[in-house]
């Protein structure tokens, strides 16, 4: 069996869909389904089991697994409960790492581009302890992911035993189907799509930095299908271990993203720019762009979808349909 933690979430449910599409029904999901309709992300899937996170460690006793794909986390960058975030994102990850080490099971886990903080040290996925220690995450979520990367890197540096395959994935700005339960953490495209389709004014932030135009704040937007291809490639390539950026390597603006959505609908852009709230101006990132040389160097050649093609696929295949779920 394959275990996908966070399997009812955004990226996790897309991974489960890809595994089902590849003919695997022996997929176990560990997640909280809650009361916000997150179950709909899995409504079209065949599963071997759904395990509540509180029962996971007991469930694992005596199990034989092909791999653990560990995507479960408190992923809100605005989270403030430090004890809960560390218990969920760091300590549980450590227990799973130890289990995979003891039971010789491949372990693929979600790190985050949030570990890079404001980007002052760049976006190089150098997994050495010296390089990691230069990073300064800006929020609790990023710090929790950073702590786990450090713990793994420490074991590598000391030559300690690890799972037969281990891979940490620093996701950049992922968007695509099944992100609808994420509320304010949804992509701006998903949040604004109904306004775009209805012809209502769409607001983007003005720039408060000299030399950068309004709406030209840039992110490395990556379509979830591309992320899933990287994960399934790793599952199929157990010889590859390391910490890797998962982004396109090309930063695009929020304005580009919105214009691509208007183009996908064949409608006229209707965008206005509003002041960024004072509370976030000091910590707002104006630019993120992954370096993907290490991923390519490890043998990945699946390519990445252009922003325009990704938005077209998302809009036409999901957002502009009565059933938006994969």
pTM recorded for the entire structure: 0.95
Q: State the pLDDT at residue 282.
A: 76
Q: Is 7 annotated as a binding residue?
A: no
Say how far apart CA 197 and CA 170 lie, in whole Å. 32
Q: Is 90 annotated as a binding residue?
A: no
Coil vs helix vs strand at 287: strand
Residue 112 to residues 50, 51, 172, 259, 288: CA-CA distances in angstroms? 25, 24, 7, 27, 12
Coil vs helix vs strand at 230: helix
Helix, strand, coil % in the chain, rounded to nearest 5: 40, 15, 45
Q: State the pLDDT at residue 92.
A: 96
Q: Is 241 annotated as a binding residue?
A: no
Domain boundaries, the chain: 2-177+221-250+289-305
pLDDT tens-place values along the chain, 326 residues long: 999 999 999 999 999 999 999 999 999 999 999 888 899 999 999 999 999 999 999 999 999 999 999 999 988 888 889 999 999 999 999 999 999 999 999 999 999 999 999 888 899 999 999 999 999 998 999 999 999 999 999 999 999 999 999 999 999 999 999 999 998 889 999 999 999 999 999 999 999 989 999 999 999 999 999 999 999 999 999 999 999 999 999 999 999 999 999 999 999 999 999 999 888 887 788 899 999 999 999 999 999 999 999 999 999 999 999 999 99
- Is-contact 226 295, C-beta < 8 A? no
Q: State the pLDDT at residue 184.
A: 87
Q: Is 219 annotated as a binding residue?
A: yes
Q: Is 283 annotated as a binding residue?
A: no
Pick the CATH number of 2-177+221-250+289-305 from 3.40.50.1860, 3.40.50.720, 3.20.20.450, 3.40.50.2300: 3.40.50.720
Say how far apart CA 9 and CA 313 lie, in whole Å. 20
**Token representation of residue 64:** 């034989």
Number of CB atoms found within 10 A of residue 271's CB: 17
Q: State the pLDDT at residue 239.
A: 97
Shortest CA distance to 169 belongs to which of 282, 295, 296, 276?
295
Q: Which residues are the active-site residues?
A: 141, 182
Q: Is 72 annotated as a binding residue?
A: yes
Q: State the pLDDT at residue 76.
A: 83
Coil vs helix vs strand at 66: coil
* Alpha-helical runs (H) found in the chain: 10-21, 56-60, 82-85, 92-102, 129-132, 140-158, 188-198, 224-236, 254-265, 278-281, 293-297, 307-314
């Amino acid at each position: 069996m394959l275990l996908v933690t966070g399997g009812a979430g955004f990226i996790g449910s897309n991974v489960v869909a890809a595994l089902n599409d590849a003919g695997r029904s022996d997929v176990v999901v560990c997640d909280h389904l809650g009361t916000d309709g997150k179950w709909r992300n899995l409504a079209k899937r065949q599963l071997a089991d759904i395990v509540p996170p509180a029962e996971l460690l007991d469930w694992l006793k005596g199990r034989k697994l092909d791999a653990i794909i560990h995507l479960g986390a408190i992923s809100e960058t605005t989270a403030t409960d430090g004890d809960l975030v560390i218990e969920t994102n760091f300590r549980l990850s450590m227990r799973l790492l130890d289990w995979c080490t003891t039971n010789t099971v491949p372990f693929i886990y979600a790190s985050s581009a949030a570990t890079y903080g404001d980007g002052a040290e760049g976006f190089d996925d150098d997994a050495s302890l010296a390089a990691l220690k230069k990073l300064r995450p800006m929020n609790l979520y990023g710090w929790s992911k950073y702590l786990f990367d450090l713990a793994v890197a420490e074991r590598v540096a000391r030559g300690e035993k690890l799972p037969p395959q281990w891979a940490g994935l620093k996701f950049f700005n992922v968007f695509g189907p099944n992100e609808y339960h994420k509320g304010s953490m949804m992509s701006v495209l998903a949040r604004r799509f109904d306004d775009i389709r209805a012809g209502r004014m769409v607001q983007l932030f003005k720039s408060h930095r000299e030399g950068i135009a309004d709406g030209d704040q840039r992110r490395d937007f990556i379509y979830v299908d591309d992320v899933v291809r990287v994960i399934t490639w790793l599952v199929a390539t157990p010889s590859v271990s390391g910490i890797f950026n998962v982004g396109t390597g090309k930063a695009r603006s929020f304005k580009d993203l919105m214009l691509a959505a208007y183009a996908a609908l064949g409608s006229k852009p209707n965008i206005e720019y509003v002041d960024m709230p004072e509370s976030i101006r000091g910590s707002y990132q104006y630019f993120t762009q992954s370096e993907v040389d290490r991923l390519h160097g490890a043998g990945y050649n699946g390519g990445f979808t252009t922003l325009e093609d990704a938005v077209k696929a998302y809009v036409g295949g999901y957002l502009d349909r009565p059933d938006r779920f994969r």
